[in-house]
Amino acid sequence: MRGVCLISTAVALCLVATAAPTWATAQESAAELVEAREAYEQNVALGRSLEGRPASAEETAEAERLFQEGLGKAREYASLHPRSAEAHRMAGIFLCMAYRPVSVPADPAPEEASADDSEPAMETVLRRGGAKDCEEGLAELRAALRLEKNRLDYFLDYAEALYACEDIGGCQEQALSLWDHRSSMSNSQCARCACLLADCASRQNQPDAEMRWLQEAVRYDPQHEDAGQRLADIVAAQPRIAWLSYEAGKALAANEKKPMLIDFSTSWCGWCRKMESNVFPNPEVISFCRQFVCIKVDGDQRKDLTSAYGVDGYPTTVVLDHTGRELHRIVGYRPSARYLEELRRAVPNH
């Protein structure tokens, strides 16, 4: 999409303000914009509830009504107040990210799968904006950014709109540019940006990058429901031990109420490398460790954690319950069978 380079450059030049508020404290509190925001939120809630299945005639009509009503309110206000950044922002968000009815080929029933129909049956689903809507919507968001160059939430809106409009590369570029200035963002904005980068990684079939960005999202917002659930799903599906950072792992353990297994190691430790090559790839160890949230800590990089947990030798495994209470400690290398035996003693009811 055009404008990505312009906006990314603007991020580098203009991110000097403190984190700006989002929807609830937008610049203008005009009745039209309040009504537009409410229509958008209702539209999105309806669209998300229907993702992956056909919409009924009533749901289709409601989505279209909310879309036209909210967009109309935003455009009405923008026509009267052309210098209103929030009005342009609202119009852009509607065009790129609100749901509207689209006709798609229906999935054939099993008994009809072999039928030779020249005209496939159609069904209505709710999807986000098409190519023309996206072009108009992104132009509206760029207009908002020209009027308000230091609104971080506007930059995030633009990145999310690029993603919704299928410009994954542009979205990733924009989000990474924002991430470089995360010290100017609030924790919730950092989590929002990290989730967007996780979405881009998922679309590019990069599961390790997706997990890394989800960990960042959980680190900045431990209660982020979507990021926490996605991270838990990825960890559960991994064919190996899925090691998390300390902050992300601790948050996930608290949310999932699962015990933690913290592996303290260093790059120079020979016995640590032996654990990595001989023990952690063992299928029985992998299987048993699925009941834990597994955390990897580099002792050289996290002296604060080695001090907090009293670690003075490597490798050291510390097993804790989800509240952080220590259950067991394994100091030094153990072959797979002995390592498993000690872990079973640590959590005898699992």
Residue 297 CB burial class (10 angstroms; 0-12, 13-18, ≥19): buried
Q: How many percent of the chain have pLDDT more than 70? A: 87
Pairing mode of beta strands 122-127, 260-265: unpaired
**Do 223 and 191 meet the contact criterion of CB atoms below 8 Å apart?**
no
Judged by DSSP in three states, 329 sits in: strand
pLDDT in the model for residue 5? 45
Would you state the structure tokens that stand for residue 297, as one six-digit string?
A: 């800590």
pLDDT digits (tens, 9 = 90+) for 56-79: 999 999 999 999 999 999 999 999
pLDDT in the model for residue 16? 37
Boundaries of every domain in the chain: 4-103+124-174, 186-237, 240-346
**In angstroms, rounded to a whole number, what is the distance separating the alpha carbons of residues 82 and 280?**
61
pLDDT digits (tens, 9 = 90+) for 217-272: 999 998 887 888 888 888 888 888 999 999 999 999 998 899 999 999 999 999 99
Residue 196 CB burial class (10 angstroms; 0-12, 13-18, ≥19): buried
pLDDT digits (tens, 9 = 90+) for 137-157: 999 999 999 998 888 999 999
pLDDT digits (tens, 9 = 90+) for 197-220: 999 999 998 888 999 999 999 999
Same fold, 4-103+124-174 and 240-346: no
Average pLDDT of the residues in 26-32: 66
The sign of the torsion formed by the CA atoms of 131, 133, 136, 139 equals negative
Pairing mode of beta strands 260-265, 293-298: parallel
Query: Would you place residue 305 in the very low, low, confident or very high pLDDT band (cuts 50, 70, 90)?
Result: very high
Does CATH place domain 4-103+124-174 in 1.20.140.10? no
Residue 23 has pLDDT above 50, yes or no: no
pLDDT digits (tens, 9 = 90+) for 80-120: 998 999 999 999 999 999 998 888 887 665 555 555 556 67
Q: Cα 108 vs. chain centroid, distance in angstroms? A: 33
Gyration radius of the chain's alpha carbons: 25
**In angstroms, rounded to a whole number, what is the distance separating the alpha carbons of residues 216 and 311?**
25
Question: What predicted TM-score, i.e. pTM, was given to this entire model?
Answer: 0.72
Q: Which residues touch 235 (CB under 8 Å, ≥6 apart)?
A: 211, 242, 244, 252, 293
Q: Which CATH architecture has domain 240-346?
A: 3-Layer(aba) Sandwich (3.40)
